[in-house]
Amino acid sequence: MQSFRTELENPLVEKDILDLARKIELFREGKIHEEKFRSLRLARGVYGQRQQGVQMVRIKLPYGKMTFKQWKRIADISDEYSIGNLHLTTRQDVQIHFVSLDRTPELWAQLEQDDITLREACGNTVRNVTASITSGIDTQEPFDVTPYADAIFRYFLRNPICQEMGRKIKIAISNSEADTALTYMHDFGLIPKVQDGKRGFKVVVGGGLGAQPMLAHTAFEFLEENQVIPYLEAALRVFDRHGERNSRHKARLKFLIQKIGFDKFVELVNAETIAIKNKTFEIPTTGFSETEIEGYLPTQTASIVAPETEEYKTWLQSNVFAQKQEGYFGVYVRILNGNISSNTSRSLIEQLDGYVANDVRVSINQGLMLRFVPEANIPYIYEVLKAHDLAYPGANSIANITACPGTDTCNLAISDSTNITSKLEAVISEDFPDLIYNNDIKIKISGCMNSCGQHGMANIGFHGSSLKSADKRVLPALQVLLGGGTVGNGVGRVADKVIKVPSKRGPEVLRVLLNNYEENATEGEYFNDYYDRQGEKYFYNLLKPVADLTTLKDDDFIDWGATEQFATEIGVGECAGVMIDLVATLLFESEEKLEWTLNAFNENRVADSIYHAYSVFVSAAKALLLDKSVNVSTQSAVIEKFDEHFVAKGEITIAQSSFKELVLQINQNEPSIEFATTYIAEAKAFLALAKAYREQTVEA
């Protein structure tokens, strides 16, 4: 066992960390199957990276918020356990790389000293809840959505219904119809509305990018605020029971809705409402405003005079905006590729603390935002940022390109997406400097088709790929996508795949596109409108000369940032990996879940104990089915097939007429103590029956 002490006030957190340490030890001893261990560590934010023997650790920051103390803690930890770099992600997390697996429990314990968690930052769980970074300060927002993002994060953290789903679930909350959180590309998206004086949300469901992008469906034009969490809980129960579990490429919520139809999905969600923990859930909205948080507002006033330079004026115009709180301003900070060193972080903390709010937000375009900057402090903030080479203008413009880590660290990446980003940004700054004010066009790039860089909804997108030359040599390539983007109010556009080009010609693609747009677009015509007017075929023909493989040079076979010949080396993705089920492992899990069931019941967490008991039934039944080589991909199929292969054939006898009737009592009853007592006893008896059957089978 690890020798560290967590010294935490929260016993649940302490148990989590000690459990991870114990499971690492068992894994090292060969007592836990590798795939089971993978599932366990992913749910605790520990992710295998491209380089063998080290881990990426993802730090979960609800709605991207860090206090200065938390930011410093992360920076210090990156020095001690990693390589001194903080990577800001498109889901408002922070990642650190090259971490030893054995040190992850200790790292986690250090983070929790400042209330920072790794729990459910990866794996088949509810991931980080993202929100517009201008929440609470935006002049256009109906109300501050921060309390709602915080409540959703806390409600589903460690919630039994979303610990072992078929795939991940992503939730985003925009603070206005501008939809700056990109709700339309999420499993669940919320947009604030006020109707008849009541707060609520437009709710969209089933969006997603990846290799097969799909736009979200509208579930509610208006759902009252106290119904949001109950709806999410019911919908997650449906996804947990009916979602695909074998093929991870088909295991997202969007594919379940595609398979059964949205109307059927709504029907199943409605059927779950009788069994959910809370029929209404009032979300506390106090304690989140700047006047309610001790030490939140700046206390220092700088005396620096604003520089009379064009550089400063450009930065001021493109990166600074007036908040709805009079006299205060928000400041966007561009971070190239989302990478900021721990040394730079500590230096910024020291120089900014007291001059801005104690609230730094990570943006979905991998930057930072400073809040509640008094007007007098703006020149000082500029000088601090400039001294750290971070006073780049155009934080929300075409010049600020979003990119995933690509082949730097990711198992799934095909080609580089970080080095080329700097080349593309140079094209903007050097050839099209006036576009620094253009917030209409977004450029996004991913290292593969999975769209971690969100290329699938970019106006101009790229994703890593490969091509073969006439002599069969493989070269790095970029798939070019055009026409995606945000329409607003939960509506978006998926980009079209137009053409594939050698990676080294990516900058030329961008020059051709922007020159053509500047020369031929009508006055005030947005890029997507221009794309629609000309059509996909027009742009294919426009870029076809750039894609010509008869003019390849030796340099085209070496990827950006590389020195050797390109070769496609794709590992096994983990971020949403589905564990491989083994009979013994599943029965062991069933026993563990029964322990969770009894603990929850004894702690008076009645609804949680019922859901854990349901998991006991499913896990044990799946083990016996697997022993008969019956492979099923959903929990609902487990229930159906168990009746077919065991109950109908008289191999296992239960008191009810069917296993389905026994198990699905869960969505036919209110979560009462009386029902929980009976249901838990039945789950315990079924597990004993399953174990006895398994023992007899092994002996035979």
pLDDT at 6: 47
pLDDT at 9: 64
CA distance 359 to 204: 29
pLDDT at 1: 33
* C-beta of residue 495 within 8 angstroms of C-beta of residue 482: yes
* C-beta of residue 136 within 8 angstroms of C-beta of residue 292: no
Least reliable range by pLDDT among 418-422, 479-483, 680-684: 418-422
We find that the CATH architecture of domain 11-112 is Alpha-Beta Complex (3.90)
49 phi/psi in degrees, rounded to 5: -115, 180
Kindly tell me if the per-residue pLDDT of 579 is higher than 50: no
Fold match between domain 11-112 and domain 310-387 = yes
pLDDT at 578: 36
CATH number, span 130-272: 3.30.413.10
In the chain, what is the greatest distance between 2 CA atoms, to the nearest angstrom?
Answer: 88
Least reliable range by pLDDT among 21-35, 80-94, 252-266, 345-359: 21-35
Average pLDDT of the residues in 101-115: 91
Q: What is the pLDDT of residues 125-139, one digit of tens each?
A: 999 999 999 999 999
Report helix, strand or coil for 305: coil
Q: What is the pLDDT of residues 292-333, one digit of tens each?
A: 999 999 999 999 999 999 999 999 999 999 999 999 999 999
- CATH value of 583-699 in 3.40.720.10, 3.40.50.20, 1.20.1070.10, 1.20.120.330: 1.20.120.330
Instruction: Determine which helix (DSSP H) or strand (DSSP E) holds 191, and give its type and residue range.
Output: strand 188-195
CA distance 610 to 243: 20
Is pTM, for the whole model, over 0.85?
yes
Average pLDDT score over the chain? 91
CA distance 350 to 262: 51
Kindly tell me if the per-residue pLDDT of 216 is higher than 50: yes
CATH number, span 402-557: 3.30.413.10
- 528 vs 44: which has the higher pLDDT: 528
CA distance 343 to 230: 44
Domain boundaries, the chain: 11-112, 130-272, 310-387, 402-557, 583-699
Kindly tell me if the per-residue pLDDT of 490 is higher than 90: yes
CATH number, span 310-387: 3.90.480.10
pLDDT at 33: 73
Q: What is the pLDDT of residues 220-246, one digit of tens each?
A: 999 999 999 999 999 999 999 999 988
pLDDT at 568: 66
Least reliable range by pLDDT among 23-27, 209-213, 412-416, 552-556: 412-416
CB-count burial class (<10 Å; 0-12, 13-18, 19+) for 424: buried
Nearest by Cα to 513 from 524, 505, 502:
505
387 DSSP 8-state letter: H
203 phi/psi in degrees, rounded to 5: -120, 125
Average pLDDT of the residues in 20-33: 83
Kindly tell me if the per-residue pLDDT of 577 is higher than 50: no
Cβ atoms within 10 Å of 144's Cβ, excluding its own:
19
Helix runs in 473-534, H state only: 506-520, 527-534
Please, which pLDDT band fits residue 564 given cuts at 50, 70 and 90? confident
Q: What is the pLDDT of residues 355-372, one digit of tens each?
A: 999 999 999 999 999 999
Q: Which strands make up the sheet holding 130-131, listed edge to edge?
A: 130-131, 171-173, 188-195, 198-205, 217-224
pLDDT at 581: 38
